[in-house]
Amino acid sequence: MTILHLRRARTSLVLDARGPGLPRVAHWGGDIGDLDDDALRQLVAATVPPVVPSSFDEPPALSLLPEASAGWSGRPGLAGHRDGRDWSTAFRLDGLDVDEPADAPALLTVRASDPAAGLALTIEITLDPHGLLTIRHRLRNDGDGAYELRELTPVLPVPAVATELLDLTGRWCRERSPQRHPWQHGAWVREGRHGRTGHDATLLLVAGTAGFGFGSGEVWAVHTAWSGDHVTVAERRPTGESTLGGGELLAPGEIRLAPGEAYDTPLLYAVWSDEGLDGLSHVLHSHLRARPGHPRSPRPVTLNVWEAVYFDHDLDRLRALADRAAQIGVERFVLDDGWFRGRRDDTAGLGDWYVDEGVWPDGLQPLIDHVTGQGLQFGLWVEPEMVNPDSDLFRAHADWLLTVPGRLPPAWRNQQVLDLGRPEAYDHVLERLDALLTEHPAISYLKWDHNRDLTEAGHDGRPGVHGQTLAVYRLLDELRRRHPGVEIESCSSGGARVDLAILARTDRVWASDCNDALERLSIQRWTGLLLPPELVGTHVGPQRSHTTHRVHDLGFRAATALFGHHGIEWDIASISADEQTELTAWVALHKRLRPLLHAGRVVRVDHPDPAVWAHGVIDQDRTRAVYAVARLTTSVAETPGAVRLPGLDPALRYRVRPVAGVPAPATIERSAPPWLASGVTLSGAALARVGVQLPALHPEQSLLLEVDEVG
C-alpha cells in the first residue's frame, strides 16, 4: 500500500502499510517534519530491527494488533476462539482511508480480514489538532459459529529511551497516589476488576526518559477510556520492543459474537510530550476543552450540604443554609442523600426514588423555591444504579439485581447493584429520574453517586459488567437528551469513576470523599494529570476533616480548594462572623480568578524539597498567572530555597506579589523576604530559572502569588 505520516501540533505518527499484513508503527512521538515519500521510506528502513542469531529469519512485525503469526511473542493484541479453533489470526490488509481536514482531527481507517479465521478488523486512528492520538479496534465475526472474545487491546510502540514508568494507585479517600519505577523486562499490567473505574485506577500510564518530571523529559502515556473492568499495560520484551496499551478486561464468556456481530474496544487515548508531565496534561486539557459538550458557562461555586446535615433533613435548617450560602457568594445549592422514601440512614431506601412524604410533606418544591429565590441553582443527589435490600423496589423486584443465580454478592454499604441490562430495570430507573426532573424543572444538577464495586456481577447467568457499563452510558445519554439543561457530576465513593468515557456524559467529577486539604493537594495534583481544573470538584471542608480528623485553618483549606470547580462542604450556618467574612473573601477571589483558572495552562513545579509543593495556572496568552506554594511539613533546611515559577513568556516582564483580598498565612509577618511587601518585577526567564525566595511557612500553610505582565 503506502507509508502514512499523520502530523498535528508537535506530534507525528508514521505507519508502514506496504506489507500484506497490518500496518506497523514506525514512529509515534515528536514531529519529524514534512517528509516526502523517499524520506519516509528511508525513515521506515532505518527503524527495521536486525535479524539476530537463533531467531526468526525475518524481523517480527509489531503491528497495531500484535499477532503470533507475525512473530510476536508478547501479550497478544487479540485473544479468542471459536470452539477451540481460530485462536490465532493472520490479518491481511484490505484497504486504508485517510481524511486530513485542516484544523480538525486527522482520521485513518484501516480495514483488514482473516478469511480463514472468519474475522474482520477495522482500526480507527485519530490525531487531533492538539497532538492527542486515539485508537479503537472493531472486530466482526464473519464466520459460521459464535466467536468468544477474551481480549482485544490496542497497543503502541515506545522507543528504548523511555526507561521509567509512572502510574497511579489509591483507595477510598486516598485516590491518585503516584508510584514510579524503572521499566524493566516483562509486563507491568494494571487491571481494574471493580466493575467501575476504581479508586486505584491509573488515569495515565506514563513511560519516559530517565528522571522526567513535571516540566522536563520526554514522555509517552495512555489512558483507557472505559468505566467498567479494564486493563492498562506496559510491556518491554527482551527482543527489544516496548509497548503501551489498554482496553476492556473481559470475563470468560462475557463477549460471544454471533455471526455478523461486532465488538468495539474502548478508546485508547495516547499522548506524547517532550515537556514532561505538564506537557501531557496540556495536550489532554486542550483536547477536552475543545469538545463541543465541554462546559462553557462559568462553573458555579457549589454548596453541598452533606457534611452540614447528613441525613437530618429539616426545611428551616436547609433554608438557613441557603440564606447563608447566598450571602457568602455561593451559586449552586445541592441537597445530598436522604430526601427519598425511607432514607434515614444508609441502610434503606435506595431504589425508591420518590420524595419522602414523612420528611417533606409538601415535597421538595418549598426548598427549591427558596433556594432559587435566593438566586442559586438547585441540585440533587441520586444513586440510580444501586438498591438497598430494605426498599420497596428490592421487595418487589429482587430478580432485578446484578448477581449470579442463587446468591447475592457480598453486601457493600448495605446495597446491591441493579442490573440495568434488564430492560425493565433500565426503564424503571429512567422513568423515575425523568419524572423527578420533569416535576421539578428547577433541578439543574444531579450529583450522580455510585458507592460500591460490582462484585460477582452476573446478567442472566453470564458476566454482566460490560452490559452494565453500556447501559449506564445509554441511561446518561438519554437523560441528557430529555433534559439538556441538567448538569451531572460523576461521583463514585468519591473518585472511583474518573475516566474520559464517563466524562463524555458528565460535567465534572468528585475527586475524593476526603476534603482534608493536605490530602487533597496530592489528590488534585494527580487528578489534574488527566483533567483540567474546571472538571474537578474542589470544596472547602470544615476545620476538622470529616474523614481524617486533621485540623486546618481556613486559609489552607480555601487555597487548596481554589484550583478547581470551587465549592463548600461545611455547615456554614454555624460558622462565626469572622469565618463568614473570610470565606466570603475566598469565594470572591475564586470568582475573580475563575476565567484564568478554568481556561489557563496548568503547571506543577519540580522543587527539590519534598516539603514544598508549588503549582499554578497561566493564561493562554501568558500575560497573567496565579501560583500556590504549599508547605506540607517541616524541612531539614531552614529555608527550602527559591521556588521557580515556570511557564511564563521568557521575554516578558512580570510583577509578582501576594494575592490581595484574603488573609496571608500568619508566619509571613515574621519571616517575609524583603520583596514580598511591595512585590518584585522580573522577566519570565528569571522567574523560571531563578525564582523567588518565599517565607518559611509553617507546615500545612499556603501562599498565593499573582503574576501580571508589566509594560
Average pLDDT, the chain: 96
DSSP label at residue 578: H
* CA gap 287, 281 in Å, rounded: 10
- The set of residues, in sequence order, having a beta carbon less than 8 Å from that of 123 and lying 6+ positions away, is 22, 64, 65, 108, 109, 110, 112, 135, 136, 137, 138, 154
The pLDDT score that the predictor gives to residue 669 is 59
HSE toward the beta carbon, residue 468, CA cutoff 13 A: 32
pLDDT band at 30 (very low <50, low <70, confident <90, very high): very high
Range 81-96 average pLDDT = 97
pLDDT of 668 above 70: no
Helices 554-561 and 577-597: crossing angle, nearest 10°?
20
The pLDDT score that the predictor gives to residue 343 is 97
pLDDT of 1 above 90: no
How do residues 244-283 score in pLDDT, each as one tens digit? 999 999 999 999 999 999 999 999 999 999 999 999 999 9
pTM over 0.85: yes
Range 492-521 average pLDDT = 98
How do residues 128-164 score in pLDDT, each as one tens digit? 999 999 999 999 999 999 999 999 999 999 999 999 9
- The set of residues, in sequence order, having a beta carbon less than 8 Å from that of 85 and lying 6+ positions away, is none
How do residues 561-575 score in pLDDT, each as one tens digit? 999 999 999 999 999
Question: Sign of dihedral through CA atoms 399, 404, 407, 412?
Answer: negative
**Does residue 643 contact residue 689 with C-beta atoms inside 8 Å?**
no
- Cell 480463514 belongs to 116
How do residues 301-350 score in pLDDT, each as one tens digit? 999 999 999 999 999 999 999 999 999 999 999 999 999 999 999 999 99
**Does residue 159 contact residue 49 with C-beta atoms inside 8 Å?**
no
**Does residue 497 contact residue 450 with C-beta atoms inside 8 Å?**
yes
Calculated CA dihedral for residues 522, 528, 530, 536, nearest 10 degrees? 110
> Which percentage of the chain shows pLDDT scores above 70?
99
The pLDDT score that the predictor gives to residue 638 is 81
Least confident interval from 217-231, 531-545, 629-643? 629-643
Range 400-408 average pLDDT = 95
Range 503-516 average pLDDT = 98
Cell of 489: 457530576
Please identify every residue annotated as catalytic.
449, 513
Phi–psi pair at 83, nearest 5 degrees: 55, 45
> Which percentage of the chain shows pLDDT scores above 90?
93
pLDDT of 671 above 80: no
pLDDT of 21 above 80: yes
